[in-house]
Chains A and B, each alone.
Chain A
């Protein structure tokens, strides 16, 4: 319980926008050390920028189809991208060359993440499976028949022992990494589709987005939903949401009404709506240490918002 008066909310303002992509931007992510920002797009390329001055560091070309998701390794050296050409590619972020290609999925790869130790990669695909890959050799360690419809999101927890997966079949499941077994099913309603799921920084809670304009925070061990965040529009696209913890705790999400929404984590009230995009905002990312938000969407531009 807070005994001191809550800090007045300082609004974010638009800082800059980056136009490098010629097609919608599907994902933006800051590296763990905060020095780089990567973006992936349907124009089949990824771009890496310096987070400080937003200059282009490298442009990663190689996929033959559009890219849906990207992930940074913990040491901020490697990026893994998930593409519609059914492969994943591991890139050296600064040098810009593709180090490895992971083949195995039989349909679009939609979501990818490294584990905290960065020796494993988990990927979710339209072929309804989740695959866990070993980074060093590129071998597929597990192939899990996870869902009955496309898998929309996969994420490791804080110590890399669990994977949460979300799918259009309306379920959100938790898997054990070591054995590939399903440990728990968090949601099992057939509608609405679950478009996004992510562990909280301490691994105890899962933020889940469903295609009925709702974001929920679940305690996965009790299986109860604790908080609900509303106000945005999310019916069609798999929009990413994230936690902002650098200056107070907030939930940040994109929306189909072209805005970025921020909610207070505890109070569930919407604190700000960032306008500026001219298309649905598909992805948002928070800088690990600074009060900076990056967003990308259908208009193909990446916008940077800072807090004064």
Chain B
């Protein structure tokens, strides 16, 4: 909506930590389709849904039976359901709006990863990748499981039908990674021999095979949001990106057609030939210096950037490459290991989970666009030679005498039609999408309102002017202590929250942000934002009602709010 007036020239990847969310110890995260809600699975078995716009908790899904850590969360296509897999071998399907459990299934082994079928809004099947056996399809209605083939017999192209045995004798405890394609008609499975198998899971048949040179175990395999790219993370510390050549909607049928068209080959050769027509290797990404083992990998929402998350020596590092292979950025976080990562579906925001349970939100470093304050100001990329008009210096220039409005005032103005959002053009809006959970204001607790202590620990360094501290009652003190976990810092809304979990939000300014703040003094910031260079003292009266005459004095800037004064005291 605001695309026309936001500067499109800034690089579209995050740069600094904007904020972090804390509530319990979070283990894994997933965005819903539009990125308005973030589901986070915790170590105590509950799943928290954050409203990403307000960065507050929207809902908490808690199962009293399940008190072990959550291993993965997955949204259904339109955001009505969430599938949660936990360390007690259970898979639970929740209804998001009501917060009720729909169904629960228990598997033989703990699923490390569970994915709902992406094709429908109320999926009944899901894909579970257990810790030490083949990925299985679980039917959530009756709890039945079907193991997927992990290898294909060399020479025959047949598939072993037994469940937990591997007929070629490969080690039984290597996990395999699998993922649905965009519409869920095929499964792409990466096995321990470095092969990507393209499976028709309904018939339990391998239709194509793609071999990765080197044959390292594939740890993760993910699709990009558009379904056009497949990214794999292998044991040999290399992230690879493939292009999916199959059509998005009817992949299975196209695959069958390709399969039929290759008649002259048999067995595994045929599978490889078919595979090569479905996935084409584009590029690999690695850290050649440190040979980092990647924990998580994913693609940006538009497929432009490939992200790898790693924890080297217990540090939080996120590498961002563009698709051509160039490393554009390394995001370094606090000294906590990284365990999960997700790119926002729409905005250039990355969310990462650290071992301590915090969720860090990385975003672009916003610099105030000062030229926005002058309505007819035009920013130039480079110097342009200015050629003055003939009558530029005339007392009354010709061109100004005739002031024509170049807008035809009789044109029809359309105030009702809404443009379709191009980012979501593939959605068939047959089903209402769940974008937001209704925000119900939690009632004020009467005695808290008076008890608020006026002094909340102040910042030693100020954060962005958009989030200033305020001394008034009921305002949260965004207390920031550099580095270590803030223990005090009264957030007044915590006192008011009727929920049991403690919820704190803190913002950590980046190094760069701090430097910029040090340069920009706060007072001129206020003045600039007002558009004038000096405040005029004028007695201003506005009459909105006849009964009370409100006279407003434009006071001197220095003594304006309490905010200002206190900030000056602390601000170096």
- By a beta-carbon cutoff of 8 Å, the part of chain A in contact with chain B is 1, 23-24, 26, 42, 66, 68, 75, 78, 84, 90, 99-104, 106-108, 110, 117-120, 126-128, 134-150, 157-162, 168-169, 171, 173-174, 176-188, 200-205, 217, 220-221, 223-228, 236-238, 243, 245, 249, 265-266, 268, 282, 298
Instruction: For chain B, give the interface size range.
Output: 35 or more
Query: Are the CB atoms of A265 and B497 closer together than 8 Å?
Result: no
Q: In the bound complex, how far is the Cα of B475 from the Cα of A205, in angstroms?
A: 34
Query: Are the CB atoms of B542 and A202 closer together than 8 Å?
Result: no
Query: Are the CB atoms of B436 and A224 closer together than 8 Å?
Result: no
Is B430 in the interface zone, CB < 8 Å from A? no
Q: In the bound complex, how far is the Cα of B470 from the Cα of A136, in angstroms?
A: 19
Query: Are the CB atoms of A162 and B2 closer together than 8 Å?
Result: yes
Q: In the bound complex, how far is the Cα of B374 from the Cα of A224, in angstroms?
A: 14
For B372, the chain A residues whose CB sits under 8 A away are 181-185
Is B572 in the interface zone, CB < 8 Å from A? no
Query: Are the CB atoms of B535 and A148 closer together than 8 Å?
Result: yes
Name the 5 nearest CB pairs between A and B, nearest first: A180-B466, A148-B530, A119-B439, A221-B4, A200-B415
Is B263 in the interface zone, CB < 8 Å from A? no
Known: A104-B474, A136-B56. A78 touches B441 (CB 8 A): yes
- What residue in chain A is nearest B443 (Cβ atoms)? A99
Query: Are the CB atoms of B540 and A134 closer together than 8 Å?
Result: no
Instruction: Name 23 interchain pairs, CB-CB below 8 A, sorted by A.
Output: A1-B412, A24-B547, A99-B441, A99-B443, A100-B444, A103-B474, A106-B561, A110-B544, A128-B530, A136-B56, A174-B5, A180-B464, A181-B369, A181-B466, A184-B372, A185-B375, A187-B375, A202-B414, A202-B419, A203-B418, A238-B544, A249-B415, A266-B412
- From the candidates A135, A138, A161, A245, name the one contacting B444 in the complex (CB within 8 A): A138
- From the candidates A42, A66, A182, A186, name the one contacting B368 in the complex (CB within 8 A): A182
Query: Are the CB atoms of A140 and B475 closer together than 8 Å?
Result: yes
- By a beta-carbon cutoff of 8 Å, the part of chain B in contact with chain A is 1-2, 4-6, 36, 51, 53-58, 347, 366, 368-369, 372-376, 407, 409-419, 435-436, 438-444, 449, 464-468, 470, 472-476, 491-493, 496-497, 525-526, 529-532, 535, 540, 542-548, 550, 552, 554, 561-562
B529: shortest Cβ distance to chain A, in Å? 5
Q: In the bound complex, how far is the Cα of B416 from the Cα of A136, in angstroms?
A: 30
For A160, the chain B residues whose CB sits under 8 A away are 53
Query: Are the CB atoms of A75 and B438 closer together than 8 Å?
Result: yes
For B550, the chain A residues whose CB sits under 8 A away are 84, 108, 126
Query: Are the CB atoms of A237 and B413 closer together than 8 Å?
Result: no
Known: A134-B54, A137-B497. A236 touches B543 (CB 8 A): yes
Query: Are the CB atoms of A68 and B374 closer together than 8 Å?
Result: no
For B436, the chain A residues whose CB sits under 8 A away are 117-119
For B474, the chain A residues whose CB sits under 8 A away are 101-104, 138
A169: shortest Cβ distance to chain B, in Å? 7
B552: shortest Cβ distance to chain A, in Å? 6
Q: In the bound complex, how far is the Cα of B51 from the Cα of A298, in angstroms?
A: 41
Query: Are the CB atoms of A120 and B545 closer together than 8 Å?
Result: no
Query: Are the CB atoms of A66 and B548 closer together than 8 Å?
Result: yes
For B51, the chain A residues whose CB sits under 8 A away are 119, 136
Query: Are the CB atoms of B493 and A138 closer together than 8 Å?
Result: yes
Known: A24-B547, A100-B441. A243 touches B373 (CB 8 A): no
B418: shortest Cβ distance to chain A, in Å? 5
Query: Are the CB atoms of B531 and A217 closer together than 8 Å?
Result: no
For B443, the chain A residues whose CB sits under 8 A away are 99-100
For B374, the chain A residues whose CB sits under 8 A away are 185, 188
A65: shortest Cβ distance to chain B, in Å? 8
Known: A136-B441, A138-B493, A226-B409. A245 touches B415 (CB 8 A): yes
For A120, the chain B residues whose CB sits under 8 A away are 53-54
Q: In the bound complex, how far is the Cα of B547 from the Cα of A228, in angstroms?
A: 32
Query: Are the CB atoms of A243 and B415 closer together than 8 Å?
Result: yes
Q: In the bound complex, how far is the Cα of B543 from the Cα of A179, in angstroms?
A: 33
Query: Are the CB atoms of A185 and B373 closer together than 8 Å?
Result: yes
Known: A141-B55, A143-B468, A149-B552. 5 other contacts (CB 8 A): A101-B449, A103-B472, A106-B561, A139-B476, A227-B413
For B375, the chain A residues whose CB sits under 8 A away are 184-188, 223
Query: Are the CB atoms of B441 and A188 closer together than 8 Å?
Result: no
For A205, the chain B residues whose CB sits under 8 A away are 413, 415
Query: Are the CB atoms of A158 and B418 closer together than 8 Å?
Result: yes
- What residue in chain B is nearest A97 (Cβ atoms)? B443
